[in-house]
Amino acid sequence: MKEKKKSIDKVSNKDIIKKVLNYIGRYKIFLFFSILSAAVSVILTLYIPILTGEAVDCIIGAGAVDFAGILDILKKMAVIIILTAVVQWLMNTCNNKIAYQVVRDVRDEAFKKLQILPLKYIDGHSHGDIVSRIIADVDQFSDGLLMGFTQLFTGVVTIVGTLVFMFSINVSTTIVVVILTPLSFFIAGFIAKRTFSMSKLQSETRGEQTALIDEMIGNEKVVKAFNHEDKVMEQFEEINGRLEKASVKAIFFSSLTNPCTRFVNSLVYAGVGILGAFLAIRGRISVGQLTSFLSYANQYTKPFNEISGVVTELQTALACAGRVFEFIEEEPQIPDADNAAALKEPKGQIKMEHVSFSYSPDKKLIQDFNLEVKPGQRVAIVGPTGCGKTTVINLLMRFYDINSGSIQIDGVDIRDMTRKSLRDSFGMVLQETWLHAGTIRENIVMGKPDATDDEVIAAAKAAHAHSFIKRLPMGYDTVITEDGGSLSQGQKQLLCITRVMLCLPPMLILDEATSSIDTRTEIKISQAFNTMMKGRTSFIVAHRLSTIREADIILVMKDGNIIEQGSHETLLKKENGFYAKLYQSQFELAESSASP
């Protein structure tokens, strides 16, 4: 079983590297100059020990120093050092360009994928983990990629170039160096495997931690209201403890690399020094050549330290990249059909035939659902929690695709029309308000960006939001933070209603649209809704049955099926009817709460 798991990790690691290389391949010009600069930089750097050896050989003995020769050598060194600095600057610039543009592309693709993922994925995964993949994991990948370009190319070229220069000086000593080299590869490879698994666990645990923090920030009031702080702290400490263990193990394995490879490097340096000394005594090489050789031996082993460090960093980067690519490669929502047409001037005739749908295969929800709505009719959907009211709305808007059956608007299946035109045809006000960071005006004109100030004000007045907006410090130009900031829940809902009032699409969906509004304002909003719904097909989901008396059709749902259907008066007349009992219970509850 372990062997199988290892082979799977290897394959996935190779796949990740291929994907990274595909992204890098988009910037071939920068890659070319980066490799060229690395090669030139290494050649110039490796030429310095040759000059150093020549300078040593210019010191023949006491009183026999060739100062003119040394001066010429020093001039050459100065020119080479300046050229090396320029070339290295060019290489680092190219590497930065490649790394940050690749990261930009990856993050762009991840965010684009977020826009086309089915709601099933969003609802089924922790939001904090998704945020962690797009932000933290991409940043970690960026750091590893940048280090890889900065040190990996130069390290490899340095090793190859050093070997060439060493072979040109003395073959036997170079062979000793080459024989001892595999030890570094073995140690680095041994550590890298363990670093990758620990880094992957670290990233996953960090995503879990981000998810918990995100959840707590979004629901802090609920946590405090139910005195849940201690339980949350226990959860956080448990995850934080696992993150600590994973991080310590990852850092421990990665920190082993440098001392282990340095030990091998010291063995190489000692071997070169001893063998070179014997050769110098026998006159096989000069003292200057021995000096050059020792310098090369040091430079040859140094890249192994850097590369082994880069390998462990790259393992962390690849683990993070794997999580990001896994997200990018998630199955998107079913795309619009090739022949999908835009829904133009819809009349609002809606027909649902034999519709079946469930969020999970093992738990049935809506089975053989049938409904026909004529243009301009108001349809109210009521029923106990979990009966499928909001699910019907999700299917109408095609947030979820049905498992079987068909949903038609004006005789056309919604799967044969573009999602954009379908959703443009509906105005939607949900119980859960959503506002983005920006001005009040920017939040209102989301569905109609070209709206004039007069249109915005008229819509706000119709939604009874104008009065509180004018009391804000900057009126319609007041900047609010994410999700409305300090605005009350009722004020945020009024802004969402204003947004729909401004667009006035041909079909409306009101899902508990007045749940957070006081009774007096609700009466005014209901009047505005009545005006807005005239001639428009409307779906109203409500728990308070008093708000749906004027509906043309009331659908009473239970366990995903319509159990009763008719007008308010018709349903009340049914003996032992579910709606009648539900309405009566609400009426009695209202009476008992009103009585002293």
- Domain check: are 455 and 551 in the same one? no
Q: Considering the domain boundaries, does residue 471 fall inside one?
A: yes
Domain with 571 in it: 341-425+505-596
What pLDDT score does 545 carry? 67
- Domain check: are 305 and 353 in the same one? no
**Residue length of the chain:** 596
What pLDDT score does 6 carry? 40
- CA separation for the pair 471, 29 (Å, rounded): 57
- Domain check: are 354 and 465 in the same one? no
In the listed set 469, 489, 504, which residue is the last one of a domain according to the structure? 504
In the listed set 295, 328, 361, which residue is the last one of a domain according to the structure? 328
- Domain check: are 445 and 569 in the same one? no
Give, rounded to a whole angstrom, the gap between the first and last alpha carbons of the chain: 71
- Domain check: are 533 and 415 in the same one? yes
Q: Considering the domain boundaries, does residue 460 fall inside one?
A: yes
- Domain check: are 128 and 212 in the same one? yes
- Domain check: are 513 and 492 in the same one? no
- Domain check: are 471 and 510 in the same one? no
Q: Are 427 and 508 in contact (CB under 8 A)?
A: yes
Q: What is the mean pLDDT of residues 559-565?
A: 83
Q: Which residues contact 9 (CB under 8 A, 6 or more apart)?
A: 196, 197
- Domain check: are 314 and 348 in the same one? no
Structure tokens at 90: 């060019």
What pLDDT score does 454 carry? 92
- Domain check: are 394 and 441 in the same one? no
Residue 565 maps to which CATH number?
Answer: 3.40.50.300
- Domain check: are 273 and 390 in the same one? no
Q: Which residues pair with 510 in a beta bridge?
A: 429, 540
pLDDT band for 295, please (50, 70, 90 cuts): confident
Q: DSSP secondary-structure letter at 175?
A: H
Give the residue ranges of DSSP H helices in 67-152. 67-116, 119-124, 127-132, 138-147
Q: Which residues pair with 508 in a beta bridge?
A: 427, 538
Q: Which residues contact 461 (CB under 8 A, 6 or more apart)?
A: none
Identify the H or E element spanning 296.
helix 287-328
Q: Considering the domain boundaries, does residue 352 fall inside one?
A: yes
Distances (CA, A) of 337 to 354, 416, 500, 585: 22, 6, 28, 47
Q: In terms of C-beta distances under 8 Å and separation of at least 24 residues, what long-range contacts does 585-588 make, across chains too?
A: 586/544, 586/545, 586/546
Q: Collapse the DSSP code of 130 into the 3-class scheme (helix H, G, I; strand E, B; otherwise coil) and give the result.
A: helix
Summarised one tens digit per residue, pLDDT across range 411-431 is 889 988 888 888 888 888 877
* Structural domains counted in the chain: 3
- Domain check: are 556 and 472 in the same one? no
Q: Considering the domain boundaries, does residue 336 fall inside one?
A: no
Summarised one tens digit per residue, pLDDT across range 444-499 is 998 788 889 999 999 898 888 898 899 988 999 998 877 767 788 778 888 888 88
Q: Which residue has the tokens 């024989």?
A: 179
Give the residue among 151, 138, 155 at the shortest CA–CA distance from 101: 138
pLDDT band for 5, please (50, 70, 90 cuts): very low
Q: What is the mean pLDDT of residues 119-144?
A: 81
